[in-house]
Amino acid sequence: MSAPARPAGSYDPAHTTGGGLGGELARLEAQACLSFPEELGVLRQLGLPEHGVLLELGAGPGAVTRRLRTALPALDVVALDIDETLLGHNTAKGAARVVGDAGRLPLRDACVDAVLLRYVLQHLPEPGAALAEVARVLKPGGRVITIEVDNGCWGLAEPVYPELGPIHAALAAAQRGAGGDRTVGRRMTRMLRAAGFDEVALRLFATSSDERPVADFAPHLGPQRLEPLVADGRLPLAALALAADRWRRFQEDPEAWVMLVGFVATGTAARAGGGGPEEGARPKAP
């Protein structure tokens, strides 16, 4: 069976970072390694269940799937992604893998206990449609948790290189032009309320170079994300060279410091109506 057509959106794993798909797989693994411990602490605070069925929407190659299975072994995880090739790299033991579109989930109503969307909403031109589908597949009282960034308050770094501002703006503009939004973090709670979720709340997590080497922040601060923009002519080669030089200087500076901030929003599905499957029933793919 062929994978569904890629919807309009700003994420293309083969053209997100230097090195094509292989480079993106490495970036996603490094990104999860950097911040998952902090994310997991917030997920637990917000009521991520330790039993039942969790739908990881946009699971990709499984960098987070594997960590979820290790941290919460009694939780059944369904890893869903629209990209069949990307999902094929997801080898998390004990996780079910489903190819599907966030806007048309191939799952029956009220069949999962929780849904996690990690860095997914920023890539969707119609995030409300995905959240409506999440509300449909959640059991009454089930929990949705979304993790995102926001360019307006992504974190702090010192030293600051103002000359990189136009380059970072070009990266955000490229994502916006493809239907994405790197300022979605500030709107997540309103999105959840608009989709009908109750008990909406927002929490933050932070990861800094006080706990990790500066080099570990390469997935976010390194120049590799700019290489596709240079390849298709949206940035000059000089911009990539400038970014690479400043990243090198940053790593060599003994006083360099960075802190990244993540946004985590949660809500619960409406309890009225009921009629879902028996507790613990696994969702069925078509």
Q: Using omega within 30 degrees of 0 as the cis cutoff, is the peptide bond preceding 159 cis?
A: yes
What pLDDT does residue 258 have? 97
Give the DSSP H/E element, type plus range, for residue 238.
Answer: helix 237-252
What pLDDT does residue 172 have? 86
Of 9, 225, 226, 261, give the one whose Cα is nearest residue 125: 9
pLDDT digits (tens, 9 = 90+) for 181-203: 889 999 999 999 999 999 999 99
Give CA–CA dist 148/88, Å, rounded.
24
Domain boundaries, the chain: 13-268
- Please compute the mean of the pLDDT values over residues 109-131 and round it to a whole number: 95
- Classify residue 187 by its DSSP letter: G
Structure tokens at 84: 């069949």
Q: Per mean pLDDT, which of 14-18, 171-175, 246-250 is the most reliable?
A: 246-250
What pLDDT does residue 272 have? 63
Q: Residue 171: pLDDT band by 50, 70, 90 thresholds?
A: confident
**32 has pLDDT over 70:** yes
pLDDT digits (tens, 9 = 90+) for 210-259: 999 999 999 889 999 899 889 888 899 999 999 999 999 999 999 999 99
pLDDT digits (tens, 9 = 90+) for 34-61: 999 999 999 999 999 999 999 999 999 9
Structure tokens at 157: 């770094």
CA separation, residue 81 to residues 67, 121, 138, 251, 284 (Å): 17, 13, 17, 35, 15
Strands 198-208 and 257-268: antiparallel
- Please compute the mean of the pLDDT values over residues 62-79 and round it to a whole number: 97
For a pLDDT cut of 70, what percent of the chain falls above it?
A: 92
For a pLDDT cut of 90, what percent of the chain falls above it?
A: 74
| CA dihedral over 212, 214, 216, 219, signed as positive or negative | positive
Give long-range contacts, CB 8 A cutoff, 24+ apart: 160-163.
Answer: 161/246, 161/249, 161/250, 163/242, 163/246
What pLDDT does residue 173 have? 87
What pLDDT does residue 19 have? 83
What pLDDT does residue 3 have? 40
Angle between helices 237-252 and 165-177 (to 10 degrees): 120
User: Cα 36 from chain centroid?
Assistant: 11
Yes or no: say if 96 and 114 are a contact pair by the CB < 8 Å rule: no
Note the pTM of the prediction, 2 decimals. 0.88
Give CA–CA dist 182/16, Å, rounded.
14
CATH architecture of 13-268: 3-Layer(aba) Sandwich (3.40)
Yes or no: say if 79 and 59 are a contact pair by the CB < 8 Å rule: yes
